[in-house]
């Protein structure tokens, strides 16, 4: 009996080792990204159902992630709802209507031509030097005046120039039109229906919730709900939360301008990007560092990912995902 024990032990060890190897082989290939310290989440929805959902580097389903400029895409949806509900007349309204006090101090009368649509399309004409403006803008006593007092470098509507400060004005416009905060508006007409119960949304100076992309945290699963709402043309559980007409406008190619950001040959307008990848039309929202809501309409596919934004390598993270990871996900889940 004693002489047989070593053979039993050896057999058990070999069995355990074999099981371990089998387990390693059956792990979905997506999980290898857990080795990359900047990845927080990855979710995939196919035909309205989540088929992959994983969290990494200490994040869980309940973790709030900084969505960066995906905030802008949310702003465009809320503007559409505000128009549907008659709080805002249309996108061609001059923004002077909402900022009469700030406009009183402006000497360039051509700024009166700036409309809500120009803010949505990054064509206000106001000077903005990208991230170089961010810290001074965040620290400014009046973030709205800070934006409006910038030189008018181009006629409104004439030239695309990505302007996060200008997008923040959309949040203030929603608050002024609604008579309460942007968060209250979002809760009443959007979040409550989508069962989005937990967000961390910062206010800028003067009290308006951030619309720039520098102050909103959401759960990745809730970002997926936003993508699914867009996929369903604004309808959620048989209720039209935002008009189908507005959803079409968000992704209407003629309303978009060429941009250097994102996928190659991308266009951007109404706060959403559009491009093609291996013959597939791609509609997507993007935030610095690799925060994505990606829709592939002909595949009925939605991909959400969040990554660390607190890094100087954010652009590289975005490029790495778009060029290396995204094509593999579409190939795997798009069939």
**What's the rounded Cα separation, in Å, for the pair 310 and 320?**
17
Q: Is this structure's pTM higher than 0.75?
A: yes
User: 125 Cβ partners below 8 Å, 6+ apart?
Assistant: 110, 114, 118, 152, 153, 154, 155, 156, 157, 158, 159, 161
Return the H-helix or E-strand segment holding 298: none
**90-144 pLDDT tens trace:** 999 999 999 999 999 899 999 999 999 999 999 999 999 998 999 999 999 999 9
The answer to whether position 2 is within a domain reads no
**What's the rounded Cα separation, in Å, for the pair 79 and 170?**
7
The answer to whether position 271 is within a domain reads yes
Q: What is the pLDDT of residue 335?
A: 84
Q: Is the pLDDT of residue 26 over 80?
A: no
Q: What is the mean pLDDT of the chain?
A: 91
Please give the average per-residue pLDDT across 189-202, as a whole number: 98
> Residue 267 forms beta bridges with which residues?
258, 274
The answer to whether position 305 is within a domain reads yes
The answer to whether position 118 is within a domain reads yes
Q: Which residue from 94, 103, 74 is spatially nearest to 182, judged by alpha carbons?
A: 74
**144-181 pLDDT tens trace:** 999 999 999 999 999 999 999 999 999 999 999 999 99
Residue 113 sits in which domain range? 31-333
Domain count across the chain:
1
Q: What is the pLDDT of residue 120?
A: 98
Q: What is the pLDDT of residue 37?
A: 81
C-beta of residue 231 within 8 angstroms of C-beta of residue 302: yes
C-beta of residue 233 within 8 angstroms of C-beta of residue 244: yes
Three-state secondary structure call for residue 19: helix
The answer to whether position 26 is within a domain reads no
The answer to whether position 13 is within a domain reads no
**211-267 pLDDT tens trace:** 999 999 999 999 999 999 999 999 999 999 999 999 999 999 999 999 999 999 999
The answer to whether position 150 is within a domain reads yes
| 110: CATH | 3.40.710.10
Q: What is the pLDDT of residue 31?
A: 47
Q: Is the pLDDT of residue 62 over 90?
A: yes
The answer to whether position 123 is within a domain reads yes
Q: Is the pLDDT of residue 290 over 80?
A: yes
Q: Which residue from 294, 284, 301 is spatially nearest to 335, judged by alpha carbons?
A: 301
């Amino acid at each position: 009996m004693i002489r047989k024990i070593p053979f039993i032990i050896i057999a058990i060890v070999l069995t355990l080792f074999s099981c371990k190897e089998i387990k390693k082989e059956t792990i979905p290939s997506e999980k290898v990204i857990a080795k990359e310290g900047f990845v927080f989440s990855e979710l995939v929805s196919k035909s309205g159902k989540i088929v992959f959902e994983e969290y990494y580097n200490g994040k869980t389903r309940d973790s709030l992630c900084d969505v960066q400029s995906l905030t802008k895409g949310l702003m465009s949806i809320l503007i559409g709802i505000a128009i549907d509900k008659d709080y805002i007349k249309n996108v061609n309204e001059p923004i002077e209507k909402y900022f009469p006090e700030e406009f009183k101090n402006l000497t360039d009368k051509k700024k009166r031509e700036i409309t809500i649509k120009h803010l949505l399309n990054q064509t206000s004409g106001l000077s903005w030097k990208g991230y170089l403006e961010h810290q001074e803008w965040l620290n400014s006593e009046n973030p709205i005046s800070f934006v409006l007092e910038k030189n008018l470098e181009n006629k409104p509507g004439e030239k695309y120039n990505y302007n996060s400060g200008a997008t923040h004005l959309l949040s203030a416009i929603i608050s002024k039109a609604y008579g309460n905060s942007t968060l209250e508006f979002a809760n009443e007409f959007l979040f409550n229906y989508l069962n989005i119960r937990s967000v961390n949304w910062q206010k800028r100076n003067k009290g308006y919730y951030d619309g720039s992309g520098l102050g909103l945290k959401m759960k990745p699963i809730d970002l997926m709900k936003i993508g699914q709402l867009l996929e369903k043309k604004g309808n959620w559980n048989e209720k039209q939360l935002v008009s189908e007409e507005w959803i079409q406008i968000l992704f209407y190619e003629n309303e978009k301008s060429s941009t250097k950001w994102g996928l190659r040959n991308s266009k951007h307008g109404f706060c959403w990007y559009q491009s093609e990848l291996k013959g597939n039309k791609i509609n997507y929202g993007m935030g610095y560092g690799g925060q994505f809501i990606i829709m592939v309409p002909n595949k009925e596919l939605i991909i959400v990912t969040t990554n660390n934004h607190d890094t100087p390598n954010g652009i590289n993270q975005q490029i790495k995902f778009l060029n290396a990871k995204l094509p593999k996900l579409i190939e795997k889940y798009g069939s």
